[in-house]
């Protein structure tokens, strides 16, 4: 009897992972997204390495200035991922008119957020950066960088909204091509302008900022041109994009606003972490900025699985196939954990080689190495949470629960422990980072319970009609 039961369990496990249609769809969506994220993370790390040749202060200055951009990025991510759960489900029933209305609403909120951050970057850069650091040289250098890249914020908001809708309707190639082109130009210009090549003056940090601005202009222009040239589902005329009424906006915003609030609470929480790291010492924030670029690389695959899962699960829910949506979600979560164990191990064995690329003090290298050890050991936890929140709960419209779990837990668990570790117990930055990871453990335990309950599945396509 036990042998027969074991065989049934093995057969069920094999059947769980064998689904050619799932893998075909996952690969079609996830591979271009992973490639796009890999290119972005790789070139970002190259940029950090180039800035790293200038010393710890420039690394800290650019890293803290990019925290302001990071906040904008997360607000835009909250807006677009919230709206993407609608567009993915609407695409499941091929409702293009409402897809374009949702895009128009996303652009309205995205451009509003971009305008606020533009004002901060141009008129209040020193005040914003003084939240993170008390080092005058870091604040001054970071302010110069922020004033230049601030002009790109509106362009970035437009690109972000269109890219999200393109991906949720199955077009992942266009954002990939545009991102690769823009970031390649950014990297080339950064090298030329930072170090003064091709007869140009050496501009250092300001050169890096000019390169970012130029690449954003190219990215937005190319993305819009290709979207409308291909007559994509996102290629709406102005009257189509902004034809939504208050009733439509209210129906859409009701589940979307918790996502935006979630990202705002989470982003301010991560900002609090950066404040803690920077207040410990300039060496600490320099180390964490180096780790952040490696962290982005390590999470590329799982970010792609999460976004692909959101599209696949959202499409199935919109088509009324809830059992299939649940199976797709479970399979994506399992693959993420297995893959993260492997990549986490790779981080552990390669950390010394990676850190040898940076021209910073031994103290910074030591701090970064210890944080990378923790990162490698707990990468599976972060990957699992990423797929749960980005790929599963949001695609199922379970935004209120996600707000409580992701937006509130960081302030109830992670931030208090980080402040206590740094300022009450005076722990070094790597132990503070380990305390921060307690937030991920709490979210994972509650998130897995919610997943198995199936209460996260909601058909949002029925809300806006056809």
Q: What is the DSSP string of 223-235?
A: HHHHHHHTT-TT-
pLDDT in tens, 255-272: 778 877 887 788 788 888
Q: pLDDT tens, 391-430?
A: 888 788 787 888 888 888 999 999 999 999 999 999 999 9
pLDDT surpassing 90 at residue 204: no
Bigger pLDDT: 108 or 25? 108
Kindly tell me if the per-residue pLDDT of 359 is higher than 70. yes
Q: Which helix (H) or strand (E) holds 438?
A: helix 438-453
Position 465 pLDDT exceeds 90: no
**What is the C-alpha to C-alpha distance for residues 445 and 412, in angstroms, rounded to an integer?**
15
Greatest Cα-to-Cα distance within the chain, rounded to the nearest angstrom: 80
Rg (CA), the chain: 22
Minimum mean pLDDT range among 335-349, 365-379, 386-400: 386-400
Confidence at residue 40, expressed as pLDDT on a 0 to 100 scale: 67
pLDDT tens by residue, 77-103: 878 877 877 887 788 778 888 889 989
Q: What size, in residues, is the chain? A: 466
Task: Give percent of the chain with pLDDT exceeding 90.
Answer: 31
How far apart are alpha carbons 192 and 58 in whole angstroms?
17
Burial class (CB in 10 A: 0-12, 13-18, 19+), 466: exposed
Task: Determine the pLDDT at residue 227.
Answer: 94
pLDDT band at 4 (very low <50, low <70, confident <90, very high): low
Rounded distance between C-alpha atoms, residue 447 and residue 394, angstroms: 12
Mean pLDDT of 285-298: 84
Q: Are 287 and 361 in contact (CB under 8 A)?
A: no
Which of 75-110 are b and which e, b meaning 16 or more Cβ less than 10 Å from the residue's Cβ?
bbbbbbbbbbbbbbbbbbeebbebbbbbbbbbbebb
* pLDDT at res. 361: 84
Beta carbons of 77 and 260 less than 8 angstroms apart:
no
44-48, 93-97, 116-120, 426-430, range with the lowest pLDDT: 44-48
Q: In this model, does residue 340 exceed pLDDT 80?
A: yes
Which whole number is the average pLDDT over 17-29? 78
State residue 243's pLDDT score.
87
Residue 466, pLDDT score: 47
Write out pLDDT tens, residues 230-256: 889 898 898 989 988 888 888 888 877
Given this model, what pLDDT does residue 9 score? 55
What is the distance in angstroms between the CA of the first residue and the CA of the last residue of the chain? 53
The mean pLDDT of 13-26, rounded to a whole number, is 72
**Predicted confidence (pLDDT) at residue 10 exceeds the cutoff of 90:** no
The C-alpha atoms of residue 310 and residue 305 are separated, in whole angstroms, by: 8
Per-residue pLDDT, averaged over 211-233, amounts to 92
Percent of the chain with pLDDT over 70: 93
């Amino acid at each position: 009897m036990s042998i027969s039961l074991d065989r049934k369990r093995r057969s069920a496990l094999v059947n769980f992972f064998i689904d050619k249609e799932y893998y075909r769809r996952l690969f079609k969506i996830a591979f271009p997204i992973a490639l796009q994220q890999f290119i972005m993370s790789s070139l970002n790390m190259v940029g950090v390495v180039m800035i790293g040749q200038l010393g710890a202060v420039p690394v800290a200055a650019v890293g803290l200035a990019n925290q302001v951009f990071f906040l904008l990025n997360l607000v835009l991510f909250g807006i677009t991922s919230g709206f993407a759960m609608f567009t993915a489900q609407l695409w499941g029933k091929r409702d293009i008119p409402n897809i374009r209305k949702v895009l128009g609403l996303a652009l309205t909120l995205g451009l509003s957020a971009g305008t606020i951050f533009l004002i901060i970057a141009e008129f209040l850069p020193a005040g914003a950066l003084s939240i993170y650091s008390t080092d005058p040289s870091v604040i001054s250098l970071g302010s110069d960088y922020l004033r230049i890249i601030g002009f790109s914020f509106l362009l970035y908001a437009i690109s972000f909204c269109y890219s999200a809708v393109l991906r949720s309707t199955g077009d992942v190639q266009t954002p990939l091509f545009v991102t690769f082109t823009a970031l390649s130009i950014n990297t080339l210009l950064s090298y030329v302008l930072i170090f003064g090549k091709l007869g140009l003056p050496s501009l250092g940090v300001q050169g890096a900022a000019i390169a970012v601005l130029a690449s954003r202009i190219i990215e937005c222009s190319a993305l819009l041109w290709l979207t409308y040239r291909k007559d994509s589902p996102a290629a709406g005329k102005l009257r189509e994009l902004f034809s939504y009424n208050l009733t439509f906006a209210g129906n859409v915003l009701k589940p979307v606003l918790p996502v935006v609030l979630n990202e705002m609470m989470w982003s301010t929480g991560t900002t609090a972490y950066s404040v803690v790291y920077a207040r410990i010492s300039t060496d600490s924030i320099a180390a964490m900025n180096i780790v952040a670029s490696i962290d982005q690389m390590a999470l590329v695959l799982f970010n792609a699985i999460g976004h692909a899962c959101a599209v696949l699960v959202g499409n199935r829910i919109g088509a009324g196939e809830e059992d299939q949506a649940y199976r797709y979600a479970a399979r994506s979560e399992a693959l993420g954990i297995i893959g993260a164990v492997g990549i986490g191990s790779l981080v552990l064995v390669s950390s010394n080689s990676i850190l040898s690329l940076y021209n910073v003090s031994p103290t910074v290298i030591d701090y970064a190495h210890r944080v990378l050890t923790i990162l490698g050991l707990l990468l599976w936890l972060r990957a699992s949470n990423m797929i749960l929140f980005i790929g599963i709960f949001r695609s199922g419209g379970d935004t209120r629960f996600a707000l409580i779990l992701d937006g509130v837990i960081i302030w109830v668990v992670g931030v208090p422990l980080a402040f206590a570790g740094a300022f009450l117990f005076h722990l070094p930055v790597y132990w503070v980072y380990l305390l921060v990871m307690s937030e991920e453990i709490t979210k994972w335990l509650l998130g897995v319970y919610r997943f198995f309950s199936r209460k996260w599945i909601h058909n949002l396509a029925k809300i806006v009609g056809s």
